Structure 1
Amino acid sequence: MDHKINIDKEPPTNNDLMNTIRAVTSTIDKCDPYTAKHQRRVAKLAVAIAKKMGLSSHQIEGIELGALIHDIGKIHIPIGLLNLPRKFTPSEYEQIKPHVQLSYEMIKDIQFPWPIAKMIHQHHEHLDGSGYPQKLTEKDILLESRILAVADVIESMTADRPYRHALPLQEAFEELLAHKGTYYDPTVVDTCLQLFKEEDFAFD
C-alpha cells in the first residue's frame, strides 16, 4: 500500500498543513495508539525546549508539527513487531530502523514552510556520527532535529512499553548526561533538564 502523502500542486496554507497533520495523526492513532501518544508527548516536550531556548515562533511551530509525525513511517512496520512483549533482538531492531527513511519518503514532497522532512530524517542522528540513517555529524544536523532527539529519548524511556514499565526520570537524565556532547546537543540537554528539575515539566 502506498502511504505517501499528497497535497495539491498549489502551495498549501498553514491551515491546510495543520489539517493534513491532524488527518495523519488520526490515522496513526487508529493503527498504532502507542506511537500516536508518543508523538504527542514528544511534541509537548520539544516545544517546551524550543521555547526555553528562545527559538522563533516560526521555528517552534515547525518543531511541533515535525514532532507530531516524526515516527509516521512506523505504519509500514508490522504492528506485531512494534508491540513485541520483550526487548527487540539486534535483528528486530534493524527491522525497526527503516521507519526513519520511510517517514522521510512519505512527506518529502509536501511544501512545508519548515524543514519538516529533513528534521524527521535526522532525529536519530548523533553528533559524533554514530546515529542513523545517514551517520551525519554535528555540523550537518539541524537544531530542530537535535531537539527532537532529546525529547524522543526522554519520552521513550519514561513511557510504558509493551515489554516494560516506564523507567524513572532519573534514568533518562543519566542517559542524556552519559551521551551529552557525543549523541546529544549539550545546550538541548541542559535546557531539557532545567525544564524538569526547575520548572516541573510533566508530560501529562
Structure 2
Amino acid sequence: LPDEAESAHPASIKLGVFVATVITAAATAAAVSGVIFGPRPDPIALGLLTVLAIAAEVLQMDLYGDGSISVSAAINFAAGVIAGMPGVVCASAAVALVHYIRRRPRLYKMAFNWATHTLAGTAPVMTINALTIPLHAANLLLLAFPATVAALAYYAIDTGLIAGAIAMSAGLGIMSTWRRQYRWLATHYLVLCILGLFLAAAYTALGAPGVIVFVLPIFMMRYAQKQYVDRTTESVRELKRMNDELVQANSEIVAGSEAIQQLNNELHAMNSELFLTLAKIIDARDPYVHGHAIHVADYAAAIAMELGLPAERIERIRQAALLHDIGKIGISENVLHKPSKLTAEEYEYVKTHVTIGADFLRTCRGLRHLAPFVRHHHEWWNGRGYPDGLKGEEIPIEARILAVCDAVEAMASDRPYHRAMALDEILAELQRCSGTQFDPVIVEAFIKVVEQKGEDLVVNSACEVDLRQADAWPVSFSRNGGLHPPTEWSARKKKAELAS
C-alpha cells in the first residue's frame, strides 16, 4: 500500500476505512472460525507450518517490475486443513513478518498483509475442515471438488483484497486492476492449493516426516518458477534493450523524414517558382496578355477546389494552366503579331500551338502528365474544337476547366480589339456558351466561385492597350455565339484567341 494513504484526501480516507475493515474482519474470522471449525491445534504442526511459511516467503521471487511471487499459498492452505484457523493465523503471521523484514513497510501494511492471507485461509477451513470426510489418501478423489472450490476461493479473496487496496490508493477501478495484475495467477494458486491439500494428507498419514518429504515438490516447483522467471526477466531486458534501439532508430528515421520533408518543401517551392517563371516567359512574348497564365491558373485552382478535387489534382491543374500556352514558343512572332487577317494556312498553323506545347511537355518526365491538358484546352463540349475534335467527357476535366478559365481571362482583360467585359457580361457569355463550347458543370462551378469570392476574383491582365482603336470597332454577335467584328479586328481577335 502507498504511503499517501495516510493523507486526508477522500480517496485515502476511503482506503484507510477499507484497510481497517479487512483487518477487523480477519481478526473476527480467526476468532469465530477457530471456535466453529477445525481441530484443536497441534503445537508441533503449528511450529512446523510456521517454519515452512517463513521458508516459503524467504524464497519468494521478485518479478520483473514491482511484483513478487512465492509458494506460501500452499503452506497457508495446508495449515488451514491441518490446524484450522490457528494454523492459518500462524502461517499468515509468519508470511507478513518476513515481508515486513524484507520490505520495511509501515506497520498497518504488515497488518493488512496478515489479514488478507488470514481471510483467504478461511476458505480451506470452512470447506474441507467442515466436511466429515477423513483426510486420507483414499479420500483424495472425494476431496478434489471441495479442494478446488476452496483453492479458487483462496485465490479470489487473496488477490481481490490486494487489488482493491491498490485500486483505491491509485484511484483506479478494482476489476481493471485485478485483471491487469492478478488474473494470470489463477493456475498458480490452484496448483499450490492442491499441493497444500496433498501436504496436509501426508502430514495426516505420516506426521512431521511426511510433511518434510512432501514439501520437497513444493520447493522444487519454486525452483522451476525461479528458473522460468529468471529466463523471462532476461528476455524482458533483452526486449527492452531492443525496444530502446528501435526507439532510437525511429527517432533517427523521424529526424531524417523531417529533413526529407524540408527538402521536399524547398523543391516544391522551387518547382512553383519555375512554373511561374515559365509562365512569365510565355506571356512576355505578347505585351497584351501580361499575367494571362497566372490569372488562368488562379481561376482554374478555384474551380477545382469548388468541384472538390483532391489537392494533388488541383496542383496539376494549376501547373497545366501556367503552361497551357507554352506552345506559343513554337509559333513565329510574325504570325502571332500579324496586324492583318490570317490566311487559312496561318490559322491552321496557329492552332498547332496546343500540339507543340503538348509535345514539349512529353519530352520532360516531370511534366509529361500535363501534356493531355495542354493539348485539349481548346476542345469544345460539342466536339467542334481542336486539335482532336473531342466532345463531352472525352475531354479531360482538367482541359475543360482550362477552357473556361482561358475564355474568362480573355474576356476580362483589355485587348487592342475590345475593352474588358464587365463581370455580369462575362457570366452571361459563359451561360450562353454552356453546353456548346463549355462543360455546363464547369461553368456552374465558376459562377459559384464568383458568388463566394466576389468581383475581385476576375482581374484585367492587360498592361498597355490602345482602347481608342477598340472603341472605333463595332461589335456584333452571331446566332452561334462569339464576337464578329470587322475584318481587321476579326483577324486580330481570332489570332489572339487561337494563340491563347
Q: TM-score, normalised by structure 1?
A: 0.81
Task: Name which of structure 1's ranges 65-74 and 107-116 shifts more when overlaid on structure 2.
Answer: 107-116
Which letter maps to 1:127?
W
Aligned mates of 2:350, 2:357 — CA distance in 1: 12
3-state DSSP of counterpart to 1:106: helix
Decide which structure has the larger Cα Rg and report it: 2
1:24-68: CA deviations, max 9, x gaps?
A: 224324433444511111001011111111110001100110000
Does 2:363 match 1:109?
yes
Shift in Å at residue 203 of structure 1? 3.3
Give the drift of 1:90. Answer: 6.6
CA distance in 2, matches of 1:118, 1:25: 18
CA 194–110 in structure 1, closer or farther in 2 if over 3 Å, else same: same
- Residues 39 and 68 of structure 1 are in contact (CA less than 8 Å); yes or no, is this contact kept in structure 2? yes
> What are the residue-to-residue correspondences of 1:1-204 with 2, within 5 Å?
14=268, 17-18=271-272, 20-83=274-337, 89=342, 91=344, 93-112=347-366, 115-201=369-455, 202-204=457-459
More relative contact order, 1 or 2 (CA 8 Å, 6+ apart):
1
Query: Residue 291 of structure 2: SS of its match in structure 1?
Result: helix
Deviations 1:80-110 (A, max 9, x none): 5434567x55735434211111111111122
Query: The residue matched to 1:197 in structure 2 has which SS?
Result: helix
> In the superposition, relative to structure 1, how do residues 89 and 68 fare at CA in structure 2: closer, same or farther (>3 Å)?
same
Q: Which is richer in helix?
A: 2
Please identify, of 35-44 and 15-24, the stretch whose mean Cα deviation from structure 2 is larger: 15-24
Structure 1 residues 55 and 97: CA distance shift in structure 2, 3 A: same
d(CA) in 2 for partners of 1:93, 1:162: 19
Please tell me whether the aligned partners of residues 355 and 375 of structure 2 are also in contact (alpha carbons under 8 angstroms).
yes
Amino acid at match of 2:434: K
- 1:155 Cα deviation (Å)? 0.8
1-structure distance, mates of 2:290, 2:364:
21
> How far has the Cα of 1:143 moved from its partner?
0.9
Whole-angstrom CA distance in 2 between matches of 1:71 and 1:144 = 15
Q: Which stretch of structure 1 is more off in the superposition, 39-48 or 71-80?
A: 71-80
- Identity %, equivalent residues: 35
Provide the C-alpha distance between the structure 2 equivalents of 1:14 and 1:56, rounded to a whole number of angstroms: 17
Q: CA deviation at 1:22?
A: 3.9
CA, structure 1 residues 41+191, in 2 after alignment: closer, same or farther (shift >3 Å)?
same
Q: How far did 1:19 drift?
A: 5.2
Cα 1:76–1:142 change in 2 (3 A) is same
Q: Is contact 1:122-1:141 (8 Å) kept?
A: yes
User: Unaligned regions of 5+ residues in structure 1, if any?
Assistant: 1-12
CA contact (8 A) 1:50 1:60 kept: yes
* 1:178 CA displacement: 1.7
How far does residue 136 in structure 1 lie from its aligned partner after superposition? Answer: 0.7
Q: Judging changes above 3 Å, is the alpha-carbon distance between structure 1 residues 161 and 99 closer, same or farther for their aligned structure 2 residues?
A: same
Aligned Cα RMSD in Å? 2.5
Distance verdict in 2 for CA 1:100–1:36, change over 3 Å: farther
Q: Which amino acid aligns with 2:326?
A: I
Q: How many residues align?
A: 191
